[in-house]
Each structure stands twice: as C-alpha cells, then as structure tokens.
Amino acid sequence: MIHGVIMAGGSGTRFWPKSRKKLPKQLLALTSPQSMIQETFARLAKRIPPERITVVASADHAGRIRQHLPTLAPGNVVVEPAGRNTAACIGLATVRIARQDPDGIMVIVPADSYIDPAEQFLDVIEAACAAAAIGDTMVVIGIPPTFPATGYGYIQRGALLSDERGIKVFDVRAFKEKPDGETAQRFLSSGQFYWNSGSFIWKVTTILQAFREFMPDLHAALQRIAAGAGTPAEERLVADEYARLKSVSIDYGVMEFARSVKVVEATYRWDDVGCWKSVEEHVERDPNGNVVDAKVEMIDTAGCTIVGEPGHLIATVGIKDLIVVHTPDATLVCHKSRAQDVKKIVDRLAEKGMEEYL
Amino acid sequence: MIHGVIMAGGSGTRFWPKSRKKLPKQLLALTSPQSMIQETFARLAKRIPPERITVVASADHAGRIRQHLPTLAPGNVVVEPAGRNTAACIGLATVRIARQDPDGIMVIVPADSYIDPAEQFLDVIEAACAAAAIGDTMVVIGIPPTFPATGYGYIQRGALLSDERGIKVFDVRAFKEKPDGETAQRFLSSGQFYWNSGSFIWKVTTILQAFREFMPDLHAALQRIAAGAGTPAEERLVADEYARLKSVSIDYGVMEFARSVKVVEATYRWDDVGCWKSVEEHVERDPNGNVVDAKVEMIDTAGCTIVGEPGHLIATVGIKDLIVVHTPDATLVCHKSRAQDVKKIVDRLAEKGMEEYL
C-alpha cells in the first residue's frame, strides 16, 4: 500500500514576523486561505487515506499541527524530540510505517511547498510509485528549472526510461549540491538538470536497506526505536537516540550513494515559497500589482505585498515594491529586492536574545 | 499685567495614525519628550505665571490637556463647545482675561509650534508687549521666510520702528493670504515679507475695540457671554452663542482691517511642524539620517522616520526615505515626499465612516 509522509520540521525564518519559532512557515496561510501543511495534507489525502498519512513534526509544533489537521488521528503526527535533518525524520517515519505495512511504499514530501494543480502532482506521484515498486529503486521528483537558482540542489538526469501520459521518468546520473551562479547557469542551459524538490518515493524495504548500507548508525538507532515502539518507554527511547544522532540530510546521507535512482519530471507548478517576495507569484494581485492580505487604505501604492492582522489598518502613501507585514508585536518593512535578508533580522534578534520576537 | 493665551484647538490630521480626533498634534511629543502643548506652556511659563495663562481647547481635548498641564488650574483651560476658528477662540479668552484684568496685555500663541531657543522667543515677546502697550497697537510676530512656502499667510512690512538688542519692530503694510508658488517666490525675493506665525500681542481693550468695530456679531456674543460669566448658566450660554457664531479667522476678521499693526521679527527658529516629514528638522538623526522613536532593528535603512509604541518591534530592510508610524490599531507607511498626503488617508477614512481609526 502507499503511505504518505509529510516532513514538517521546518522553521521558515524568512517569513518573520508572521513565522515564529512556534509558528513556522508550514503553519502559515501564505498562498491560500489554508495553511501550507493543510494544503499539502489535502493534496495527498485525495489519493492516500488519512490513516496512512504520517506527519513528522518537532515537539514545538506538533500540537498546532494536530489542530490544523483535525481529520488526522493525533497518533499520526510523529514527534521528533529535536531536529536532526531529513535522514532521521524519514527514518522515524519509516519505523512507524514498517510496523503496519513492511511491504509498503512511502511518498515523502515537504510540508511547505506550493504545488498546482494537485491532479498533476498526483499523476506524477502515481508514476513515481510505479517506478519505486520495481526492485530497490529510489525515486525523486525533479522540477524543471526556470532560472539559474543557487538555493536548490540539482539532479542530473540520464536516460529516458518511460514517458506515459506525458510523465517522463529518467535514470539519475548525479545529485549536485547547491551550485554557484555560473554553475547554475550551465545546469539550466544544458537542459539535463532538475531542481531537487525534496520529495522521495520508495519501498520501506528499500530505504531500510539503504540506511543499513550508507548510514549504519542511524539504522541501528532506528532498530532500537522499532524494538521499543508501542511500549511506555518509546518516547524516552526516541529522545535518547535523537540526542546521539548526527544531523544529516537524506541527500548527503543516502541519495548521493544510492545505485538505482530515478527521477520523475514534475508537470505541475512548484515553488518552495522561500521568502515573502515569492508569495506574489501564487496569489491574486490588484491592478497595481499589490498583494493584500490586510485591512488597507492605499494611495499611489504599487508592487507591494501587505500582510496584516484582522482589525489593524495599514495605510500606505506613495510606496513601491515594499513588503509590509504587521503582527501584534512586530512590524516588518522590507524592500522586495531584500526579502531574503529578513532572515538576517531574525539572526540579529536571536543574537541579542530577544526571544520574545522569535 | 501680561497674560498668556494658548490656542489649542487644532486637529493635526497630518500626524495620523498618532494624531487622532481625541489626540491632536498638540498632545503629541513630536520634537521632544514633552508634548507640543507642554513645550509651549513651559516656554510661556518662564515669563508669565501659570495663573495668568489661559488655554483655549475644544471639549474633546480639554481633559487630556489638563492632564498634560498639571501645574495649570483646571479653570484656566477654557472649553470651546465647537471649533469656530481663531477669532472666536481669541474672543473667548479675552472675555476671561477682561474680567480679571481689563487693562491687561494678551500674548496669544498656537499650542503646536516648534520654537527654539525659548529665551529668544521671550525677548521677542517682551519687545512685542512693549509695542502693544502704546496706544491701540496690534502686534504680530513675523517669521523670516526660508523658502517660498505656499502654506502660510504673509505679512508685508513697512518702516522700521525700532531695533533694540537685535529685535526689530516694523510697521505692517499688509496681510497677504496664502500665495501661489510664483507669488511666494516674489515675496521671498523681496525681503519685505514674513510668514504669519499666528501669534498676536495686544491689550484687552484693543482687541475688544477691534471686535466691536470689525466683527460686531462676535463682539455682541462675547458681551452676552461676559454678562453670564461665573454664573451657572455660563456653559449653556457659551454653547448657544457658539452655535450661532460664524467660523472666521482673526486674520480675515480683524487683522486685514486693523489700522495700527506692527510686526516683530522673530529671531528664533520656528516651524509649525506641519507633517511627519518636518519632524526630522528638529530632532537628532542617526548616522544614516534616520529619526527613530521606536524599538527598531534596521538593516540598510536610511533617511527614514520611524515612530512606534513601547514593546512593538519595527524591523526594516533595504528601505529609504520612508515614514513608518505604528500604533496599536493602525500603521502608516508613507514616502517622505508624500507626507502632506497623510491627510488624504484621514479624509478617506472619514468618508468611509471608519470612525474607529480617526
């Protein structure tokens, strides 16, 4: 059977002051009236029944995530006692699914990507599951790049393996780390590279075998966790093992060593919605190019993204290409070209110990 | 004896969202930690004892004004039941002072001007009082213009009458309404014109005589008010008379007709602090030219005026020449070149009946 795994461990400092330690990006409604994790869950749930969807969350966020996903049984939100990157996150989900369905197939997706339309995504997932069902194949989803991004890892494709109903599957030749600008341009021009969207499809048996081979420490920890699963000691056990785990991404820990990897080309619009600027790509703008999610009064205002709170009025006069975000305790005013640097504000607040704003 | 009159009827919509119907400009601390009316009062009180200072306020503001001026007896704040411009305002103060000291001299100033240094102002006032003590002279204070302003009335000077300790007194040739740009430029170039700062010095007997002659309706109303002063009917009487009064400025109603008018040239720095932009002229700026009265975290921010509330953080990234004002229920983001248009926001809110923000 097919199982969904939603990785919801992210923090999203680039959406400050809306995003906070306790309210990360996946819990924000950025591109629709639903939060990003609600969108992600609803998309998967069109094909996978909720009882077979696992959300992996940090202890800080699990409560809110359960509130956002009322149709999901609380036990389906697996809590990580600490962030240990994607390899451990996927490992913990694998332990849970292996107990129920050791022959299952896992569809692993981040909680906070923008994807449209959902039906295309589901068709791609179906093709990926079909590919993953054969042998010990690991499948990734590749996003056709639209600009020479330096913020994503890349996947170099090999031979075309199949092309059914417009969905192409290729061998993977190599995984590439985030490139510099020149390299990214080369990747883009070659037409042979995809962005790594962080979505993975494989059998439970395949990933467990890969952990055993490439990340034996993690594999051993997962075996100990599996042995105690369902007992009163489980939570303590997970905490102890996590305390000793190294923080390694699935890309560095497994994918770069894996032998049989295939990539399915995404046919849907995808964005990781990395900062306030990217929100405007996915929502309606007014005739002056403004994105407004606030009570506003605007005079000569163009190209701005204005986000507020109910009841708080944001008035603008003669401004252009600004991001204005108001929350009860903090307000951001940032030029759109500097949206990436919102993270620097958060870093500074952390340095200064201004915890109340983090 | 010399009596002070502070005209505190203004609204100051250009300082929205800090200024509100119930919290006009004179009650804001814009150029110092003190509110503008506190500054004005303290300046006058250096020369005039508080018992001889009268503040004329609207019913909406009288309570707060009394709070701002704890050394002033509550009865020294005279309440206007409705705004009827400066002639009525001055008339009401005159009635009060005439009862105590019919031979007194009145020094009438707006509540919300920036003036520095205070000692120079007091020297100018002293010269003005000396001039007003002779005959039925009406004295105004003229501000040497520094640019061709179209927002002020002008005073054309005549012959130099005296020049003692660097303070010059001239005959007034004419009062001029707010000019167009070309005319303002001509006024400036001629060297013969002053800005009308709205400050007046004269005897009680002189202004009463002028009202009788040039504004007989107002004079009659003031006589009826004076007849009922100190009785239980006073408040009702003032309300009835005000309901019938026309709204006329002292400039239009009296000054343009007055025969013996002199102007004392101001030797101090003066500004009516007409909008958020003008605040920066009178306060300290950081090395990047920012004026900050808020809890801030700034990255690459220059030439901005940032005003907030205690505890609310305003973070800025990559912005220039903006005015950012945060209050609990409304936030303004305005380009500095458009500071005058903040009034338009207030007008729109009024049109839409959004009273809660006014």
pLDDT in the model for residue B210: 98
3-state secondary structure chain A: CEEEEEEECCCCHHHCCCCECCECHHHCCCCCCCCHHHHHHHHHHCCCCHHHEEEEEEHHHHHHHHHHCCCCCHHHEEEECCCCHHHHHHHHHHHHHHHHCCCCEEEEEECCCEEECHHHHHHHHHHHHHHHCCCCCEEEEEECCCCCCCCCCEEEEEEEEEEECCEEEEEEEEEECCCCHHHHHHHHHHCCEEEEEEEEEEEHHHHHHHHHHHCHHHHHHHHHHHHHCCCCCHHHHHHHHHHHCCCCCHHHHHHCCCCCEEEEECCCEEECCCCHHHHHHHCCCCCCCCEEECEEEEEEEECCEEECCCCCEEEEEEEECEEEEECCCEEEEEEHHHHHHHHHHHHHHHHCCCHHHC
pLDDT in the model for residue A12: 72
Nearest 5°: phi and psi at B186? Answer: -65, -45
Closest C-alpha to A347, from B299, B171, B11: B299
Q: Is B357's Cβ below 8 Å from some Cβ in A? A: yes
pLDDT in the model for residue A170: 98
State pLDDT tens for residues B37-81. 999 999 999 999 999 999 999 999 999 999 999 999 999 999 999
Please give the residue of chain B at the shortest CA–CA distance from A313. B330
- Residues of B in Cβ contact (< 8 Å) with A348: 297, 299
pLDDT in the model for residue A236: 94
CB B314 within 8 A of CB A349: no
Q: The tokens of B202 are what?
A: 């004269």
- Using pLDDT thresholds of 50, 70 and 90, give the confidence band for residue B12: confident
- Using pLDDT thresholds of 50, 70 and 90, give the confidence band for residue B319: very high
Question: Tokens 């008010």 identify what position?
Answer: B225
Mean pLDDT of B249-263: 95
User: 3-state DSSP call for residue B339?
Assistant: helix
- Surface of B (4-33) touching A: CB under 8 A: 16-17
Percentage of residues in chain B with pLDDT exceeding 90?
98
pLDDT in the model for residue B230: 87
Contact A333 B319 (CB under 8 A): yes
Question: Tokens 């569809």 identify what position?
Answer: A107
Which of A330, A334, A357 is nearest residue B318 as measured by Cβ atoms?
Answer: A334
Min Cα–Cα distance to chain B from A348, Å: 8
Q: Which residues of B72-81 are buried (b: 16+ CB within 10 A; e: fewer)?
A: beeebbbbbb
- Using pLDDT thresholds of 50, 70 and 90, give the confidence band for residue B282: very high
Contact B333 A354 (CB under 8 A): no
Q: From CA A187, how far away is CA A142, in angstroms rounded? A: 13
Mean pLDDT of B308-327: 97
Contact A317 B341 (CB under 8 A): yes
Q: Which residues contact A259 (CB under 8 A, 6 or more apart)?
A: none
DSSP class of residue B178 equals: P
- Surface of A (121-140) touching B: CB under 8 A: none
A325 beta partners = A307, A332
Segment holding B79, helix H or strand E: strand B77-80
Higher pLDDT pick, A245 / A9: A245
Q: Is B338's Cβ below 8 Å from some Cβ in A? A: yes
pLDDT in the model for residue B13: 86
Contact B315 A345 (CB under 8 A): yes
Q: The tokens of B119 are what?
A: 């000692």
Q: Is A355's Cβ below 8 Å from some Cβ in B? A: no
Domains and CATH numbers, chain B: 2-271 (3.90.550.10), 279-357 (no CATH)
Q: Is A305's Cβ below 8 Å from some Cβ in B? A: no
Contact B322 A333 (CB under 8 A): yes
Taking the model in full, what pTM does it have? 0.91
pLDDT in the model for residue B10: 79
pLDDT in the model for residue B333: 98
Q: Pick the residue of B314, B321, B326, B333 with the most A CBs within 10 A to test the interface with A by mutation.
A: B333
pLDDT for residue A112 is more than 80 = yes
Question: Tokens 């770069």 identify what position?
Answer: A256
CB A92 within 8 A of CB A78: yes
- Using pLDDT thresholds of 50, 70 and 90, give the confidence band for residue B275: very high
pLDDT in the model for residue A9: 86
